[in-house]
Chains A and B, each alone.
Chain A
Amino acid sequence: MDSLPLSWYLLVAGVLFVCGVICMATKRNGIGVLMGVELVLNGANINFVAFSRYTRLGIDGQVISLFVIVLAAAEAAVALAIVLNFYNNHLTIDVDKGDELQG
């Protein structure tokens, strides 16, 4: 485990992040967008944990990642509720249809 350098972890995290962003940017399904958000958040988590192992960040990084997990859960709950309402109003969860407030 010690033989692996930090950059590998960062690479995995970067891949996850990019996957998440692409997911968010391309999916028209609201749930899919949420999933992309989860990928982005987990990419960030991997970064925190890796920095806590390899830098002077220490246990703080792991604690922050725990907070991120909890907040992600809460965010998912709220977002799902929004999606449900969106569905009630539009009979779809295609996010491209929700453009009533455009300028």
Chain B
Amino acid sequence: MNAELYESTSQTLKLLLAFAWLAPLAGFAIEIFGGYWSTRRSKAAAYLAVLCIFLGFCASVTAFGVWGSRTGWAALKHEEHTAHAVAQPPGPAEVETGEHAGGDHAGSLPARTYFSGSFYTLARFGNLIVSLDYYIDSLTLVMFMMVTLIATCIHIFAIGYMSDELSDDYVDHQVHTHDGGHLHRPGRYYRFFAYMSLFCFSMLGLVLAGNIFQVFIFWELVGICSYFLIGFYVERRSASTAANKAFIMNRVGDFGFLIGLMVLWTWFGTFQFSTHLVDGVERPGLFEMVRGPNGELTVDSRENIVRLHDPTGQHSSIPYILLVVAGLGVFGGCVGKSAQFPLQTWLPDAMEGPTPVSALVHSATMVAAGVYLAGRFFPMFTPEVLLIIAYVGCVTLFLAATIAVVATDIKRVLAYSTISQLGYMMLGIGVGGWGAGLFHLITHAFFKSLMFLASGSVIVGCHHEQDMSRMGGLWRKMPVTALTMLAGVIAISGLAIPVLGTTFAFSGYHSKDAIVASALAFRQANPVHFLLFFVPLLTAGITAFYMFRLWFFTFAGQPRDAHIHEHAQESPSVMTGPLIVLSVFAIFVAFGGQEGPLYRLLIHSEPAGLAAGVAGGPSGIVLPAHEAIHTVHEDAGGLALIAAFSGLLLAFLIYGLRVVDPADIARQLSGLHSFLVEKWQFDHLYEVMFVRPVLVVSRWFAAFDRVVIDGFLHALTFATIDLSQLDRRFDEGVIDGMVNAVGDAIFAVGRSLRVIQTGNLRQYIMFIAIGVVALFMLLMMFFPQ
């Protein structure tokens, strides 16, 4: 691709994705104001929201087509596993010039796998430029298509799911008023769709962002949308508490994010990911400064610094420890957003929001943003940071899976499985399986949003009953929901059937397989970190177990609650339609596995040098090469499959055939059971560690306020009152007295003059005559002659 074509492609992609990004914002503006002024029974807001996001989807697909045709679909062709394969897509220009042989010009135009530039500069403080940029590569395009497609399906589903709200008098049966009734309020249909549109805008902005600060802006925007949507039923105490919890937990992570940003700004002087123009001068972005052309870190082990690749020479090095701090800080943000250990407790509570919100925000997209950022920011992570990412993911995936085994609320099971799967993704990225982690991100988005929507369909069908222990046998009543849910369950469990040398499997098998393979290769390269392989393998079995437990509990067997079963019914087609579409994607999106188109697309954007493996670093951690992962792929896939099938078998025996009563097991292991039901006591732990100390300290401060501050203020107030009373007496005595004295004097004079007004004409004439005579006499006396 020559420079001219590169430029025109860049412009086209920029316009298309900017349209896809801004359409939901326009939708939001119209919905929030239009909905406020129009009737509460109007569905217009929903249709507009669907239209906007669907247009976004069309624009994204068009952008993908443009990108593919301009690059000759190079990403989809088979590549050699070499260090340069990813960094240099084939093109006539570079073959002719051969300027990449030395690798010195790897950052020059035609070799780039991404398109970047700037929309608008928001502000500039000295060297610090805050701008809205774009950074488009195959990962961006895949994320755009995934987000817009899933969002379209979920918006359509929500048209049906939220139709209760189409009323001037919505009765919230979960809110009790003082007089024993239920809360009545106007429906908030339009508001729901306005928030959803705002969320889509924020999420797409996050994916499109070309600098880490812009990521942070949209990071917070998705956070606030999540807050609005979790607290959608704001009158329910549980919902508003959950919204606060989610927001505050995310603040903890975002604090780390801010620290990371400060380190980056101080040592790199830029937030941009890639090369950018400043006053017409090209300056390198973060990735190019940290990584050499082959993706290597230049570490000076004598001084413990990392040499930066900055041609302008302004920023020559950064202490190694600070690069670790920056990476950990940004990863801290990811931990909060993706609900990783130790900030995982907010996500299950976030299920208080409407189910489409859980499907879109809290499983498919927003929580995956943390994983997306970890993938996007991968070049900035040192091996130590990656190891921490891997361990955090490992702890999270096991912890959440074990809790999911005992949860009975259908949405909470899915929430814990989301946390667990996010842990898988983090683990994949941490062990160097960059493509595997993001692969799982995409496949998980499809099957998890599918399962959430299916659970929403169940919840609506059962009249807002969420407790699985009151369901059962629903598959006859809700066949479409049951079957699509089964597709999702098989996908997440990673089941596959080997047929004639190849494997027929749903999407989840391929992606989880890739992660487990990466973990196995990582363990072989670093034997001391064996847990990073065995825990995910074990958890693969647990995953299959709790997901099939959910399915058997809900859909199979005899009804546990006759009343609910009696009234259960299949949802309307506006809700089952999206389920079918999503289930098709959940089954086929990873078609071909690691040789398939989706994985190829993602791996096209892989940071340079990762394919060849990374060795060394001060801590001696080795990231496995693609080759190494490929060789263990078969073994890992087989082991994962065995684990998944044993999980399935166990679930079938216990909940399908009911050979053992699960309640007996719970009684036998009551200590463990209650420990899991109490979510590993994390909420209690945080209560004791943070909430109570904060309350104690607040009480001290309250007492200080009451005694000292209030006392001082009260003294001040009383002094002011006394002074005012003094002033009042002065006013009343002196000032008023003076004014009154003048008035009284004039009044007295007037009163005394009254008596001479007798009304007697002749008397007046006498006065006049006497007056005249007196005047004459005075005249004679003082002016004689």
Contact flag A102-B761 (CB < 8 Å), given A21-B769, A25-B766, A25-B769: no
Contact A96-B761, Cβ < 8 Å, known A25-B766, A25-B769: yes
**With A100-B759, A101-B759, A102-B759 as contacts: A21 and B765 at CB distance below 8 Å:** yes
- Per-residue CB contact flags for chain B residues 737-764 toward chain A (1 = under 8 Å, else 0) read 0000000000000000111111111100
- Contact residues in B for A102 (Cβ distance below 8 Å): 757-760
Whether A99 pairs with B755 at a CB distance below 8 angstroms is no
Contact with B along A10-33 (1 / 0, CB 8 A): 000000000001001111100001
A6 to chain B, nearest CB (A): 15
Is A33 a contact of B761 with CB atoms below 8 Å?
yes
Contact of A101 among B757, B762, B766, B769 (CB under 8 A): B757
Q: Main secondary structure on chain B at its contact with chain A? A: helix
Assess whether A26 is in contact with B754, with CB atoms less than 8 Å apart: no
Which B residue sits closest to A26, measured CB to CB?
A: B762
Whether B761 and A95, one on each chain, are in contact in the complex, defined by CB atoms closer than 8 angstroms, is yes
Interface digits, A23-62 against B, CB 8 Å rule (1 contact, 0 not)? Answer: 0111110000100000000000000000000000000000
Query: Which residues of A are found within 8 Å of B757, using beta-carbon distances?
Result: 101-103
Q: Is the CB of B756 within 8 A of A103?
A: yes
Q: Is the CB of A99 within 8 A of B769?
A: no
A50 to chain B, nearest CB (A): 17
CA distance in complex: A45, B72 (Å): 129
B764-778 to A contact mask, C-beta < 8 Å, 1/0: 011001000000000
**Alpha-carbon distance A96/B757, docked complex (angstroms):** 13
Q: Given A21-B769, A25-B769, does the pair A96, B754 have CB atoms closer than 8 Å?
A: no
Q: How far is the CA of A96 from the CA of B766 in the complex (A)?
A: 14
Q: Do A25 and B765 touch across chains, with their CB atoms under 8 A apart?
A: yes
The complex places the Cα of A101 from the Cα of B757 at a distance, in Å, of 8
**CB-based contact B756/A95 at 8 Å:** no
User: Which chain A residues (80-103) contact chain B, with CB distance < 8 Å?
Assistant: 95-96, 98-103
Question: Are the C-beta atoms of B769 and A95 separated by less than 8 Å?
Answer: no
Q: Once bound together, how far apart are the Cα atoms of A25 and B760, in whole Å? A: 10
Q: Which of B754, B762, B766 contacts A95 (CB 8 A)?
A: B762
Q: Are A96 and B762 in touch, CB under 8 angstroms?
A: yes
- Chain B's nearest CB lies how many Å from the CB of A11? 15
Q: How far is the CA of A102 from the CA of B755 in the complex (A)?
A: 8
B272 shortest CB reach to chain A, Å: 97
**Residues of A in contact with B, size category:** 10 to 19
Residues of B within 8 A of A21 (CB): 765, 769
A103, B758: Cβ atoms closer than 8 Å: yes
Residues of B within 8 A of A98 (CB): 759, 761
Q: Is the CB of A103 within 8 A of B769?
A: no
Q: In the complex, what distance in Å separates the CA atom of A26 from the CA atom of B766?
A: 9
**Quick one: which of A24, A33, A99 contacts B759, CB cutoff 8 A?**
A99
Q: In the docked arrangement, what's the CA distance between A27 and B760, Å?
A: 12
**Among candidates B756, B760, B765, residue contacting A99 with C-beta atoms closer than 8 Å:** B760
Is the pair B762, A24 in contact by a Cβ cutoff of 8 Å?
yes
Which residues from A are CB-within-8-Å of B754?
103
- How far, in angstroms, from A100 to B759 measured CA to CA in the complex? 7
* Complex contacts, A25 vs chain B, CB 8 Å: 762, 765-766, 769
Question: CA separation between A28 and B760, bound complex, in Å?
Answer: 10
Interface contact B760-A96, CB-CB below 8 Å:
yes
- Of the listed residues B753, B757, B765, the one surrounded by the most CB atoms of chain A closer than 10 A to its CB is B765
Interface string of B140-165 (1 = CB under 8 A from A): 00000000000000000000000000
Within the assembled complex, what's the spacing in Å between the Cα atoms of A95 and B758?
12
Contacts of B755 in A (CB 8 A): 103
User: With A and B bound together, what is the CA distance between A26 and B759 in angstroms?
Assistant: 15
Q: How far is the CB of A5 from chain B (nearest CB, A)?
A: 18
Interface centre among B755, B760, B769 (most CB of A within 10 A): B769
B495 to chain A, nearest CB (A): 117
- In the complex the two chains form, what is the Cα distance from A96 to B762 in whole Å? 8
B546 to chain A, nearest CB (A): 108
Docked pose: A98 CA to B759 CA in angstroms: 7
Interface centre among A25, A100, A101 (most CB of B within 10 A): A25
- Give the Cβ gap from B782 to chain A, nearest Cβ, in Å: 21
Q: Which residues of A contact B761 (CB under 8 A)?
A: 33, 95-96, 98
CB of B763, distance to nearest CB on chain A (Å): 8
Question: Which residues of the partner chain A approach B759 to less than 8 Å between Cβ atoms?
Answer: 98-102
Interface string of B523-538 (1 = CB under 8 A from A): 0000000000000000
Residues of A within 8 A of B753 (CB): 103
CB neighbours (8 Å) of A26 from chain B are 762
State the CA gap A24–B763 with chains docked (Å): 10
Contact yes or no, B758 A99, CB < 8 A: yes
Closest to B757 in A: A103
A27–B761 Cα distance when bound, in Å, is 10
A29–B208 alpha-carbon span in the complex (Å): 112
Complex Cα gap A28–B762 (Å): 8
Q: How far is the CA of A96 from the CA of B759 in the complex (A)?
A: 8
Q: Which residue of B lies closest to A36 (CB)?
A: B765
Residues of B within 8 A of A28 (CB): 762
Q: How far is the CB of A73 from chain B (nearest CB, A)?
A: 21
CB closest chain-B residue, reference A24? B765
In whole Å, how far is A87's beta carbon from the nearest beta carbon of chain B?
Answer: 15
The complex places the Cα of A95 from the Cα of B766 at a distance, in Å, of 14
Bound Cα distance from A100 to B756, whole angstroms: 14
For the complex formed, measure the closest distance between the CB of A62 and the CB atoms of chain B, giving whole angstroms: 24
Interface string of B484-528 (1 = CB under 8 A from A): 000000000000000000000000000000000000000000000
B interface residues with partner A (beta carbon < 8 Å): 753-762, 765-766, 769
- Sample 21 A-B pairs with CB under 8 A, ordered by A number: A21-B769, A24-B769, A27-B762, A28-B762, A33-B765, A95-B760, A95-B762, A96-B760, A98-B759, A98-B761, A99-B760, A100-B759, A101-B757, A101-B759, A102-B757, A102-B760, A103-B754, A103-B755, A103-B756, A103-B757, A103-B758
Q: Which residues of A contact B (CB under 8 A)?
A: 21, 24-28, 33, 95-96, 98-103
Taking A28-B762, A100-B759, A103-B756 as known contacts, 18 extra A-B pairs with beta carbons closer than 8 A to each other, sorted by chain A number, are A21-B769, A24-B762, A24-B765, A25-B769, A26-B762, A27-B762, A95-B762, A96-B760, A96-B761, A96-B762, A99-B758, A99-B759, A101-B757, A101-B759, A102-B757, A102-B759, A103-B755, A103-B758
Give 8 closest A-B pairs by Cβ, nearest first: A99-B759, A102-B759, A103-B757, A103-B754, A95-B761, A24-B765, A21-B769, A25-B765
